[in-house]
Each structure stands twice: as structure tokens, then as C-alpha cells.
Structure 1
Amino acid sequence: MKANFILFFGIISQVFAVQSCGAQNSRIVTEGAELRLVADGYDFTEGPAADKNGDVFFTDQPNDHIIKYDVEADSVSVFMEGAGRSNGLYFDDENNLIACADEEFQLIKISPNKDIEVLVDDFEGKKLNGPNDLWIAEDGGIYLTDPYYQRPYWDRTSPDLESQNVYYLAPGAKSLITVAKDLVQPNGIIGTLDGKTLYVADIGDKKTYSYTIATDGSLSEKTLFVEMGSDGMTLDNQGNLYITGDGVTVFDKNGKQIKHIAVNENWTANVTFGGKNGQTLFITAMDALYSLKMNVKGVRW
């Protein structure tokens, strides 16, 4: 999460050419595809997540809005105002939007009717640092990162917790358990469809790790995946990992860089797959939402 920027609203048809490293031969991007500016004019975009229709929801956290991009209509609208300063988003199997809402240091569930249920609001009686990003496993278990970023809308100026951890909320559980705590500042998080591997970006240490997920949801076998941190992350159906920050950098399952997608913004915050058949990459960057047609698709399609 970075600083606020100028607020105005609109959809712009401007496009930017996709640039990639000259030595790379990856064909994950549709031939001739261009990076499209879908919408801009927000303060800071984050947390893109696609529902079952392929529509993409993302946050404008400084304005406390969740925005919906309707793929078929090619239009954006405010889905919710007063969304707990939501940051990272993810849909569960019942089309509820699970959100990291750091205004009150909570994990919340937003129903299709916009009813809000607080799933978690503390860890062992202490306020969380500020839930940032999450991933939901096929069995409904939720993994979330909890870095500390001082917000201007908080009264507090220091964290209640001593460390910045990764937590797990088991299906049906009411309390979090710590599954990774030896990180500087965990941020982006994403897991594989088979539920066996979890990737966690330690943006504070400029590294991304992989973990093995046990049947009880615990993590083991922490392994350095790449010497690069990330804000948000996603995976495609070939097992490639998409890391954000300076544009979008793509690594194959062995940690080899296969693509760099340049984005003409100072910071790329997050990324997800959506659209028809999950074959469009959506990127939140500064005040905007971008899209790019792909040959690969998201793991849920």
C-alpha cells in the first residue's frame, strides 16, 4: 500500500503496449494483446478478486469503497461504500466476498446482499496489525497476512502484536492460529489449486517463499522461491506466479523469470485473473485498473 493520489473518476479507452524482457520467449500473453486501461480516477486501487461470472471487484481503500467492474457491460460502479477500509479481497465458494478490513483490524465476510459478518477481530485478545491480503483454500480455510502499515485513520501509532505474521482460520473456526512468524513484513499470499503449496511474499525482506501445506492447514518446509518481494500475487493454470511492484513479473514453478509486463505507473499493487473463462489478467496500479488478454487462465477456471 502506498500514498494517496488525485481523485477523479471515469473509464478511459487508452491502451499501453505490453513490454517484456527481450530475452524472454514466454507465450502466456495473447499475441498482439495490449495492456488496456479499464478505469482510473481512484486514490489507490488494491485487492482485485473475480466472482464466478468473471466480474472483478477491487478496492479504493483511501475512499473506503469496493468497486465492481462488470465485464459484459464494460463498466465500473461502486459496489459498497463504508467497507471497513477493505484491502485484499477473495471470493469463497458461496460467492461471499471475504475482505481484509483494516479500519478495525478485522477479517469480514460480505454477502451478495452486502450484509457484513465479522469473522475475526483479534488474535489472542490483541488487535491485529492490519489484515492485508488473503487466500482461501478449496476446503474453505483462510490464510491471511498481517503486516503493520500505519494508517492515517487509526488512533493508535504502534502495534499491539510483537511480530507480523501469517495466520490461518480453519473452516468453521472462530480463532486464528499462527502458521508463519519468521517474516519481516508479509504481504502478498496465494496458494495452488491442489492446496499443497502456499506462496508468501515478504515485502519487507524483498523475498518470496513457498511453504508446504499440511492437511491440518499448518505450514512447513519454508523455501526461498525468488529474491523478490511482492505486494499482491496470483497464479495461472500452468503454475506460474505473478509478482507485483514494478509492473508484473512472472516466474514459472521452478522460480525462473519468464515474463515482465511493464505498467506505466509508479507502483503495481495487485493482480488477479477474471473475465470470460478467467483468461484476462486484471492489474490494480496506483489510481487505475488495467486488463490484459492472456493465453493462460486463473486456476479456478
Structure 2
Amino acid sequence: MVLISSPTVALAQAPANNDGLRPVLASDARLEKVASGFRFTEGPVYERKTNSVLFSDQPTSTINRYDCATGKVSLYRGADVVPNGNIFDSMNRFIGCEHKTRRISRTDADGRIVTLAYLYQGKRLNSPNDVVIKSDGTMYFTDPPYGLPRLTEGKEQPANGVYRIEKNGDVTLLTTDHAMPNGLAFSPDEKTLYVA
């Protein structure tokens, strides 16, 4: 596996008719505000089963659901966890990164919340930020200190890392080469993991 990171983040606009966007974006696509009133949103993830987008609002420590059919927003889960990156696994279970609890959690169909990772080598994670799942079921997540007071208070991991959660639950540190690892994405063939 190849890890590719970007030392800087650049925001750019690309026209909808850009050749690279044609496979995923209609040529007449337009940007539209669908909801407001949030303080700092993160981790949008589409849930096919309900035709909705779930997203975190960190300062309010909530995960909200935007219904794509009705345009209504409702509370999916409220808990004092400071949620961040989110994804659904192959069984449509909600997987979330939680800054305050310093863990990766799974919400089962019955509403039960299960901790998937919160320790590495007996020490608490910093503040899991983003998560992706490979087609074989392994999960990858970033663990920068963004959720820690002053980025250092209570820090137990000596470095900010990119980790893998094996299907058996084992947590493996892949790299500490990224000062502040953030977003993650796989290449279509899953041979490359991009780290922002």
C-alpha cells in the first residue's frame, strides 16, 4: 500500500464540466445550500438505505441527518463525544470518529454503541479524525491532536498517526510521518491510501 500525503491543503474550484469530474458530477450541477444553523460541520456520509446524509456538528456534539427527499434535518445521535469523520460499513452500521472520547465507535442497528478502537499499545488515542473502510472490511483512521486542549494536554500517543483496525479488532500503526493527518481516501483500486 502506498500512503500519499499533502503538506498543504489548497481550496480550489473546478467547473462542473471539468474532465476529471465528468464521471461523478453532472455538467449542469450547481452548489446549493440545503441546511443552515450549524456551527462546524464535518464528516458527511450518504446512507443509501434512508436516502439521507449524516454529518457531525462538532461544537454541539451532535450527528444530524439530512433527508434528501424531504429536505428536513433531524437529530441522528446526540452525545457528549465531539463527533468528526463518519462512514457506514458493509452492514450499514454507522462508524464514527469521536474527539472527546478519543475513540472509533460503531452504532449497531439496535442503537447499541460499540467501541472499535481507543487504545494503541495501552495508551489512549489522541482524537480520531477521519475514517475509511477498504472493501475487505479493514478500517483506516487518522489520529491528530485536534480534539485535545491546546493540541497537547492529555496526549498519550507520542506521535500523530495513521492507523488500521483489522477485522479481528487489532489496531496497527501504519505511519507517523504526517504532522497533522486528517482526511483519508482510497484510490479506486484500493492500492493507494491518500492522507490529507
In which range does the TM-score fall when normalised by the shorter chain?
0.7 to 0.9
Work out whether 1:90 is the aligned partner of 2:87. Answer: yes
For residues 121-168 of structure 1, give each alpha carbon's deviation from its aligned partner in whole angstroms, at most 9, with x where no partner exists.
11111111100001001111000000111445x9x7141111111000
SS of residue matched to 1:62: helix
Cα distance, 1:66 vs structure 2: 0.4
**Contact 1:138-1:193 within 8 A present in 2 as well:** no
SS of residue matched to 1:98: strand
Partner of 2:27: 31
Work out whether 1:144 is the aligned partner of 2:154. Answer: no
Alignment partners' CA distance in 2, 1:27 and 1:169 = 31
Identity percentage of aligned residues: 33
For residues 50-80 of structure 1, give each alpha carbon's deviation from its aligned partner in whole angstroms, at most 9, with x where no partner exists.
1223421000111111001111222111111
Which of 176, 181, 187 does residue 186 from structure 1 map onto?
181
**Contact 1:88-1:100 within 8 A present in 2 as well:** yes
Partner of 1:58: 55
Work out whether 1:77 is the aligned partner of 2:65. Answer: no
Alignment partners' CA distance in 2, 1:50 and 1:68 = 10
Partner of 2:153: 157
Q: CA RMSD in A?
A: 2.3
Which of 193, 197, 216 does residue 192 from structure 2 map onto?
197
Which of 89, 111, 127 does residue 124 from structure 2 map onto?
127
More helix by share: 2
Residues paired across the two proteins, number: 180
SS of residue matched to 1:103: coil
Alignment partners' CA distance in 2, 1:20 and 1:106 = 35
Alignment partners' CA distance in 2, 1:192 and 1:76 = 31
Alignment partners' CA distance in 2, 1:146 and 1:40 = 28
Gaps of 5+ in 1: 1-18, 202-301
SS of residue matched to 2:120: coil
**Contact 2:99-2:147 within 8 A present in 1 as well:** no
Alignment partners' CA distance in 2, 1:169 and 1:25 = 35
SS of residue matched to 1:35: coil
Deviating beyond 6 angstroms after TM superposition, the runs of 4 or more aligned structure 1 residues are none
Work out whether 1:46 is the aligned partner of 2:30. Answer: no
For residues 78-97 of structure 1, give each alpha carbon's deviation from its aligned partner in whole angstroms, at most 9, with x where no partner exists.
11110622100010011111
Partner of 2:8: none
Which amino acid is 1:63 matched to?
T
SS of residue matched to 2:183: strand
**More RCO (CA 8 Å, sep 6+):** 1
Alignment partners' CA distance in 2, 1:64 and 1:112 = 21
Gaps of 5+ in 2: 1-12
